[in-house]
């Protein structure tokens, strides 16, 4: 899945890279009163790796990706950039719409 997402991002000028999900991110999901908690506490502030660790719990065994698109903008000029929208469009067109046409 990483190769597909990265290729789609390169094709549309929205580059991505993998971020680690470490033991510290998984540990911060532990809760005394729930199966999981959705935000980090203690020594770390919540970040994209924590969000990915949380989502991984619901992804099952299939391929998945977490695109942290909140607040990401590298484009010059005014107006919204919508980082990730073109990447997702390319990914769906290349890998899922093509399968529907077979």
Distance spanning both ends of the chain, measured CA to CA = 21
Q: What pLDDT tens digit does each residue of the chain (102 aa) get?
A: 899 999 999 999 999 989 889 898 888 888 899 999 887 666 667 788 888 999 999 999 988 999 988 766 666 776 666 788 889 999 999 887 866 665
Rounded Cα–Cα distance for residues 4 and 1 (Å): 5
Q: Show the domain range for 85.
A: 2-100
The two tokens of residue 91 are 């990914």
Number of domains in the chain: 1
């Amino acid at each position: 899945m990483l190769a597909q997402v990265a290729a789609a991002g390169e094709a549309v000028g929205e580059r991505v890279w993998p971020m680690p999900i470490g033991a510290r991110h998984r540990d911060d999901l532990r809760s005394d009163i729930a199966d999981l908690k959705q935000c980090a506490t203690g020594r770390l502030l919540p970040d994209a790796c924590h969000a990915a660790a949380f989502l991984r719990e619901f992804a099952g065994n299939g391929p998945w990706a977490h695109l942290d698109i909140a607040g990401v903008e590298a484009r010059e000029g005014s107006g919204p950039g919508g980082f990730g929208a073109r990447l997702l469009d390319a990914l769906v067109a290349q890998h899922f719409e093509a399968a529907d046409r077979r």
